Amino acid sequence: MKTELKCIPCFIDDIIGALDLIEESFDVKRNLIGQVVKFIGNGLDYSKTPSFYITRCHRILKKHYGKDNLFEELREKCNMVGKELSNKVKDEVWVKTDNQKFKELIKWSIVGNELDFRTVGTGYDLTIEDFYEILYSTFKKPLDIDETEKIFTLGNSAENILYVLDNVGEIAFDKLLIEYFLEKGKKVKVAFRGGAITSDIILEDLKFVGITELPVETVKAGPDTLGISFEEMTEEMSTAIENADLIIAKGQANYYEFSKHFYEIGGNIVNLLRTKCDLVSNKFGKKGKLSLAVVLREEFI
């Protein structure tokens, strides 16, 4: 997906939201937002993805603070909550029939996106029980587009799966889906970002929730980017994409990149995401915040 004019307010709003979490001084906020506006005002290349520009806006903040991980405490809380809740989910789901287990694991992977602190903000005063109720109420709602049966078939036939993770917190639920594939004898590679930026995962997050303890191969996708970046991609990530029979891409930023480069990729691509705006929801013929489990194809690009 390419950048559109309506993306610009979201770039700025994203930075304002970040500064509300980490900065009290109005003057500092004003200065940093001014730098972001100046960067955007210098001209955008609308052939690039929105995540290209959101990444660079957040790098302005990182440069100012001279710190790689600006949200360390929030990220840790997300992972703690996700890890505890996913243990409850595993106890409930692992006793189901194979097909039902798969469907529920797909859904929990998508529902877990509610743990993203960029979405829920100051909600981390809530208890584990409160979060479980919030997530479970979302889980009980049907997916807006549900192609789980297609994904089930693709997963069964695939030998090499590349799982492109998204945010802290929700990766604990992704771990359950990865475990399912491993039980089926699949080879799984797991992609992470090389540097911390907002809520996107890094290798330390995989270690925290126990993904690195599984028999998977971890792949560094690139530096500190929101979602993966085809422009800043490592050679090992490029090779992993080329060799994958099935790619599971989590989140909206990864949808941006994989939809833009869809025709360059030989394997099947599955997007599991909660949409954040109508620009993306419209790609799927709908409006509002959606929960989607889709096999990417031309009509969704």
* The CA-based dihedral angle spanning residues 275, 236, 174, 74, taken in that order and rounded to the nearest 10 degrees: -70
What are the backbone angles phi and psi of residue 277, rounded to the nearest 5°? -155, 165
What value does the mean pLDDT of the chain take?
Answer: 94
In this structure, what DSSP letter does residue 284 have?
A: G
pLDDT digits (tens, 9 = 90+) for 156-203: 999 999 999 999 999 999 999 999 999 999 999 999 999 999 999 999
Give the mean pLDDT of 264-284. 96
Q: List CB contacts of 126: < 8 A, sequence separation 6 or more.
A: 134
Reply yes or no on whether the pLDDT at 120 is more than 90: no
User: What pLDDT band is residue 119 in, cutting at 50, 70 and 90?
Assistant: low
Residue with tokens 């302005």: 60
For the entire predicted model, the pTM comes to 0.95
Q: Dig out the tokens for 98 from the structure.
A: 């194979």
